Structures are given as structure tokens and as C-alpha cells.
Amino acid sequence: MADPTNLLTSAKIAEQLGASPAKVKKAIDALGIEPAAKKGICNYYDADDVKKIKGALK
């Protein structure tokens, strides 16, 4: 499992990239990205996933 201190939720990724949470979630679904970790109902993504999402939003 990835280092939990470097993982982000989709909302935090949206905030970091300056995009809406809905667009980020749509990009995650479109790319078929699986979360690096799950805690309860929250999905957490790592830095590689953030790069993929950023590329999909352009």
C-alpha cells in the first residue's frame, strides 16, 4: 500500500488542480483509476494518479 501521508481524496485533488470535484470524479471514472487506499467510504489516490487526472482534465 502507498504511503498514507501522500494520498489525496478526489476533493483534495480537485482543490489542488483548480478543478471542480465533479470533473475530477468524472476523469477518475473515465480513466478507470482504482484508489490506492480506502478508509470507510473515502477513496485515496497517489501522486501518479494525480498526474493522470491532471492530464485528462486538459
Other Cβ atoms within 10 Å of 37 Cβ, number = 14
Q: Which residues pair with 44 in a beta bridge?
A: 37
Does domain 4-57 sit in CATH 3.30.1360? no
| pLDDT tens-digit map of 31-52 | 999 999 999 999 999 999 999 9
Q: For the chain, what are the domain ranges? A: 4-57
| Residue 8 grid cell | 489525496
- Listed in sequence order, the residues at least 6 apart from 51 whose beta carbon sits closer than 8 Å to its beta carbon are none
What's residue 58's pLDDT? 82
| Residue 52 grid cell | 493522470
- What pTM value is reported for the model? 0.86
Contact 33, 52 (CB under 8 A): yes
